[in-house]
């Protein structure tokens, strides 16, 4: 049921629809009441309140509400004979020799002739088979599966089919698909999908943050390398300047010493003294 709920809420934004699971459909007033009730495994009734007097429905009284279920699903017991029983109701109270209970109208007859359910599905989980009938006129006509192996409920834009799980041996499950063939996820599957998406998004953000931090670290290393290169260049320039200054200073000292020597030689010669003979 949880897989089809989002679609039903879209079809019925006011919430006026009823889902029954193993609950009775009282299709006629009888005494005792069980002569006029069928309890399919699943059914859907459009256009009726989901609750009565604020309480969840335990049954559906067709002879009061006058709106038949649109879809009824039966899970076949044993060979499926009971679900295909088209016997009309007995005229009087008769005891079924097999069950020891009062005889009733067959399920197939009830859904086709009395309740007039537009779609009736019989799923045999033991055999992995599914039969879907569509009420055309006054009789059910079995629907053929489409190319996907599903049975289209065209009025609702959905398909009913069988999905096998990964167990050994595989187990068949009755599932819904949309009209494009996409599986309608159950509530648990949607929660798991949302969690997986959240994990992927979180990992993507962490990867993005890691890439950003890595880029920032690379930028810092490049900036430090440039600063080191600039520092080394400035240091080399400073050494070159010091060496040039030292050279210039040495040259200046040599020039002063030469000039002083030349002055001394000139002075001595002015005194008539030969500097070379001193």
DSSP secondary structure string, 201-255?
A: HHHHHHHHHHHHHHHHHHHHHHHHHHHHHHHHHHHHHHHHHHHHHHHHHHHHHHH
* CATH number given to 5-184: 3.90.1570
Q: What is the pLDDT of residue 219?
A: 94
CA–CA dist 178, 53 (Å, integer): 33
- Above pLDDT 70, what percent of the chain? 100
Average pLDDT in the chain: 92
Average pLDDT over residues 125-151: 96
pTM of the model: 0.74
> Is the confidence at residue 34, as pLDDT, over 90?
no
Given this model, what pLDDT does residue 104 score? 87
Query: Over the stretch 221-252, which tens digit does the pLDDT of each residue have?
Result: 999 999 999 999 999 999 999 999 999 999 99
Averaged over 34-45, what is the pLDDT?
93
Under a CB-based contact definition with an 8 Å cutoff, are residues 158 and 7 in contact? yes
97-123 pLDDT, tens digit each: 777 777 888 999 999 999 999 999 999
Per-residue pLDDT band for 43 (boundaries 50, 70, 90) equals very high
């Amino acid at each position: 049921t949880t897989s089809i709920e989002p679609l039903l809420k879209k079809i019925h934004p006011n919430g006026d629809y009823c889902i029954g699971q193993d609950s009775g459909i009282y299709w006629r007033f009888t005494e005792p009441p069980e002569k006029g009730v069928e309890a399919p495994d699943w059914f859907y009734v459009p256009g009726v309140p989901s609750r009565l007097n604020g309480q969840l429905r335990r049954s559906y009284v067709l002879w009061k509400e006058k709106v038949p279920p649109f879809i009824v699903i039966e899970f076949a017991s044993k060979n499926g004979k009971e679900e295909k029983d088209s016997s009309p109701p007995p005229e009087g109270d008769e005891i079924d020799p097999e069950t020891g209970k009062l005889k009733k109208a067959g399920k197939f007859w009830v859904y086709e002739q009395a309740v007039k359910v537009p779609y009736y599905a019989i799923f045999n989980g033991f055999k992995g088979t599914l039969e879907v009938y569509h009420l055309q006129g006054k009789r059910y006509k079995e629907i053929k599966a489409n190319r996907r192996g599903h049975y289209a409920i065209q009025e609702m834009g959905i398909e009913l089919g069988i999905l096998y799980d990964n167990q050994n041996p595989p187990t068949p499950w009755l599932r819904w698909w949309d009209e494009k063939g996409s599986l309608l996820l159950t509530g648990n599957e949607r929660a798991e999908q949302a969690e997986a998406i959240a994990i992927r998004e979180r990992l993507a953000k962490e990867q993005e943050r890691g890439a950003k931090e890595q880029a920032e670290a690379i930028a810092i290393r490049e900036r430090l390398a440039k600063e080191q290169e600039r520092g080394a260049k400035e240091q080399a320039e400073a050494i070159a300047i010091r060496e040039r200054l030292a050279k210039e200073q040495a040259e200046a000292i040599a020039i002063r010493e030469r000039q002083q020597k030349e002055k001394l030689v000139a002075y001595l010669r002015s005194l008539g003294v030969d500097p070379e003979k001193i």
